[in-house]
Chains A and B, each alone.
Chain A
Amino acid sequence: MTISLKLNGQTHDVEAEPGTPLLWVIRDELKLTGTKFGCGVAACGACTVHMDGEPVRSCQTYIEDVEGVEITTIEGLNSKAAEAVQAAWTELDVVQCGYCQSGQIMSAVGLLSENASPSVEEIDDYMNGNACRCATYQRIRAAIQRASDIMEA
């Protein structure tokens, strides 16, 4: 089937079989590799993208379900919250291996877009689905708080 995919502000006509995860269309067809494969079962969050601004797991989002919605990947982030999150991530050197961090950042931007100054409990709750095997969690938590401060400033 052919899908008209709106992604990062552009429209792409994508040829894919029904049931194809959005993740593989983004990575293999559109060659945008910032969105990562981690588990394939929506248990790690490495593949997180935004669908109309809301974080979703692209490994469990199917191509037939994204017609007409606006998809944003890490490469297309462009908002006040995104700028603050990426600045905070840089300032605190959150990353280690970095493989999960696109997904962490997509979720963090989702959180701050709906809650500009989350508590520690709200951060932990919202970010619970994003696994980091390097265990950079303490810096993720601090960077979200820092991003919140940057947004307020």
Chain B
Amino acid sequence: MTINTSRRGFLQGAAAASAVLLVGVRPDGAVAAGGSDATMLNPFVRISADGRVTAIVKHFEKGQGPATGLTTLIAEEVGVTMDQIDYDFAPSNPEVYNNLAFGPFQGTGGSTAMANSYMQYRQAGAAARGLLIEAAAQEWGVDSGSLSITDGVVSGAGKSAPLGNFVATAATLDAPAEPSLKDPSEFSLIGNPDIRRKDTPPKVNGTAIYAMDLHLDNQMVVMIARAPRMGATVASFDDADARGIKGFIQAMTLPNKAGVAVYAEHTWAAFQARDALSVEWDFSAAESRSSDQIREELIAAVNADPEYSVNKADQAEVAARIDGAAQVLEETYYFPLLAHAPMETLTCTIEPLADGGIILHDGAQIPTGPHMALSQILELPMEKVQIKTMFAGGSFGRRATPEADYQVEAGLAFAITDRTRPVKLVWSREDDIRGGYYRPAVAHRVRVGLDADGQIVGWDHRIAAQSIMKGTAFEGMMVHDGVDHSSVEGVPDSPYQIPGQFVGLTDVAKATSVLWWRSVGHTHTAYVMETMMDMAAQAAGRDAVEFRLSLLEGGGADQERLADVLKLAAEKGGWGNAPDGRHQGIAVHKSFGSYAAQVVEISGGADDVTIEKVTCAIDCGLAVNPDVIKAQMEGGIGYGLGHAMRNEVTLTEGEVDQYNFPDYEPLRIGDIGAIEVHIMPSAEAPTGVGEPGTPPAAPALANAIAASGPRITTLPMNANGASFA
């Protein structure tokens, strides 16, 4: 027997075939690399000896594109094609995979996936490239400066070989302290409009596995009979009729008395058994207000002195400016509760392991939340709780709750069993529409004073809202001096240079649980700012675009970028040149670091509006995946318009009136004509795209309707003055 003691010889032997290079970047920015899980846990990129590159994606994929985007960053920096790279979703580990915008939380939200990953993933890819090149330089005995990697091949100094050949050696080298990033002029993948989504193939042939599709041996399907009003609890239940359903296993009250868990052998049996269950509720502490009352409370609040002064302006001085103005505009607005209604209803599965630990299978938006919650509920150390992130069938914010609501339900339902069988929690569409966590109901009242020249001299803006953040784990981050920033964002921080602006806020007690909903506070603030701006331009007798631009002139980069997208949308949308019989409306808004402007063109009168065309301009910094950005604008516009047109959740004595899509009617294919998206060229750091397309859409539509019809200040539009063809 011969033992090869040469290091190179050994590496070229059996070990090399199974070698792997792992590279990650710690949150402090330090690059780390290694050749096995023991030396380099939780990497951002994994490269095997056969040359396959895998990006470890720390954000979940709900359609917004990180499975493609973060993979593009790695492929670009390593030097492989998009066909030579795969992706996996990261495990739950907030020390490594935290969202840099969230602090110690791993999670997705606030349109931050690309913004917080851009440098991190590029650095990991660049470090991997540096290691592979250094390894090749050593093996070939050439200067590393003469080598480069293109399409997965290391070449230079008259030599060339697939990068996989150097993985084993690279894994033994120290990671570069400062990886050498590509100059943007060298990019071939970042910014390339022809890059296709990595998740398209399995989503067009039915093989993509979502959390709802998981089927584990011996699993039980659990549905919850939930309290019909916030604050109600289970008094008692009778499952006599459920016992007659084939496949019914048992029913048990959840430990927090928020509902009764119904366990069955399969999904349809769970549906039927829950329907057959009879529950007596204790309503003594339950919500009993109706939506009309909530609306009255919110309107009353914006007509009283506000609880908080948001921007610390002198309220009396602003009032005096407006009172002394040549023209005064005053409007009161109301925005109803809205459900998110992602296509895949909420679901997750808890799988017990032989060692006493569990795996949560979930389209996990903020893994750290359920990780901590399940650790507590099941009294397991954190390392005994694993999370496997699966495709999510949409979210729009719903899969991220500060309380990890549905994962906690699954945890409680699992905890009260003997913990031997996997528990799959399934929500029906009715559970989803009626289950709370809505976009809060909000009222605004705005008074604007214009002088004789049509210039704004004062802007008094009061908001009354149901706070999303107060009382949650996010309160410390989002609430300052009593002001929940998510209730007002988009008003005090608007790039418009408005003289004499006062912003006030009053919190009103919520009657349902409330939650961020695609673009959060901007869902209502953009509507108010941009319809008021339209009215002010009209009152001043000025063009809507020119009037807005005058409030952005002479500012800084923030104002310039907003002005530039406004001009681009106006130009591309043919602003001011609507064909006969058509009307246009325009709106522009900054959110999540991005600038979006839209022109909506409609035909018909207020009683038969048809949305013919939407033209959008977006500045989201450097456009990593231009086609994904366009898709997010298209989707964000549709989401904003559909809800403004016809959606609301209403309550009667604390109980939700709607039940399913027939009375929470989604946007349909015939509702919008063409959408055209123009991306502003930019070398700035990437900012959000998941949400910024939504805020301008509804006010642009409202402004188009107002061009020949009513000024709609209460949503939805179809209950307040407009009908859609």
Interface residues in chain A, defined as those with a beta carbon under 8 Å from any beta carbon in chain B: 17, 20-21, 24, 27-29, 31-41, 43-44, 46, 73-75, 86, 89-90, 93-102, 105, 123-125, 127-128, 130-141
Contact = CB atoms under 8 A, between A and B. Distances in A.
B27 interface: no
A113 B660 CA distance: 31
A118 to B, nearest CB: 12
Contact of A89 (B200, B209, B210, B429): B200
Contact of A97 (B63, B215, B268, B637): B63
A43 B215 contact: no
B631 A139 contact: yes
A136 B627 CA distance: 13
Contacts, number: 175
A97 B392 contact: yes
Contact of A98 (B391, B642, B662, B671): B391
B635 A95 contact: no
B669 A75 contact: no
Interface string B38-71: 0000000000000000000000001111000000
A40 B429 contact: yes
B343 A127 contact: no
Given A33-B209, A97-B62, A135 B343 contact: no
Nearest to A28: B266
Nearest to B210: A99
Contacts of B352: none
B675 A128 contact: no
B268 A28 contact: yes
B203 A131 contact: no
Candidate in A32, A37, A44, A128 with the most chain B CB atoms within 10 angstroms: A37
Contacts of B675: 138
B666 A131 contact: yes
Interface string B629-644: 0011011011100100
The majority secondary structure among interface residues of chain A is loop
A125 B660 contact: no
Nearest to B197: A93
B664 to A, nearest CB: 10
B667 A135 contact: yes
Which residue, of A24, A27, A131, has the highest number of chain B Cβ atoms within 10 A?
A131
B669 A130 contact: yes
A131 B664 CA distance: 12
Nearest to B627: A93
A96 B203 CA distance: 9
Contacts of A41: 429, 660-662
Contacts of A33: 206, 209-210, 212-213, 215
Interface string B192-205: 00001101111111
A74 B642 CA distance: 28
Nearest to A102: B206
A99 B206 CA distance: 9
B267 A27 contact: yes
Q: Which residue of B206, B266, B342, B391 has the most chain A CB atoms within 10 A of its CB atom?
A: B206
A136 B635 contact: yes
B670 interface: yes
A125 B671 CA distance: 11
B344 A128 contact: no
A43 B343 contact: no
A131 B581 CA distance: 30
Contacts of A75: 205-207
Contact of B205 (A86, A138, A139): A86
Most chain A beta-carbon contacts within 10 A, residue among B207, B212, B429, B631: B631
Nearest to A101: B203
B393 interface: yes
Contacts of A93: 196-197, 200, 627-628, 631
B396 interface: yes
Given A135-B639, A136-B631, A39 B201 contact: no
Nearest to A85: B204
From B210, B215, B393, residue with most partner A Cβ within 10 Å? B393
Given A44-B661, A73-B206, A97-B394, A137 B268 contact: no
Contact of A134 (B205, B209, B635, B670): B635
Contact of B343 (A40, A90, A100, A125): A100
Interface in B376-429: 391-396, 428-429
A117 B627 CA distance: 26
Given A33-B215, A97-B342, A140-B669, 10 more contacts: A33-B206, A33-B213, A36-B210, A36-B343, A38-B344, A94-B200, A96-B631, A131-B661, A132-B666, A133-B342
Contacts of A125: 670
Chain B, interface size category, equals 35 or more
B182 interface: no
Contact of B63 (A28, A96, A128, A140): A96
A93 B667 CA distance: 20
B616 to A, nearest CB: 12
A29 B637 CA distance: 39
Contact of B215 (A28, A127, A135, A138): A28
B661 A43 contact: yes
Given A36-B344, A39-B429, A133-B396, A90 B204 contact: yes
Contacts of A73: 206
Contact of B267 (A28, A35, A105): A28
A131 B660 CA distance: 13
27 contacts: A17-B246, A24-B266, A28-B267, A33-B206, A36-B343, A37-B212, A39-B660, A44-B661, A44-B666, A75-B206, A93-B197, A94-B200, A95-B197, A95-B204, A97-B62, A97-B392, A99-B342, A100-B343, A101-B203, A127-B669, A128-B670, A131-B668, A134-B394, A134-B638, A134-B639, A135-B637, A137-B668
B103 to A, nearest CB: 27
B523 to A, nearest CB: 15
Nearest to A144: B669
Contacts of A35: 206
A138 B675 CA distance: 7
Given A137-B669, A140-B669, A43 B660 contact: yes
Contacts of A139: 631, 634
A31 B631 CA distance: 31
Contact of A137 (B201, B215, B627, B638): B638
Contacts of A43: 660-662
B199 A95 contact: yes
A141 B65 CA distance: 21
Nearest to A91: B196
The 9 closest A-B pairs by CB, nearest first: A34-B206, A135-B638, A99-B393, A96-B63, A98-B203, A97-B63, A74-B206, A33-B213, A124-B670
Contacts of B635: 96, 134-136
A35 B344 CA distance: 12
A148 B639 CA distance: 28
B17 interface: no
A38 B196 CA distance: 27
Contacts of B208: 98
Nearest to A38: B343
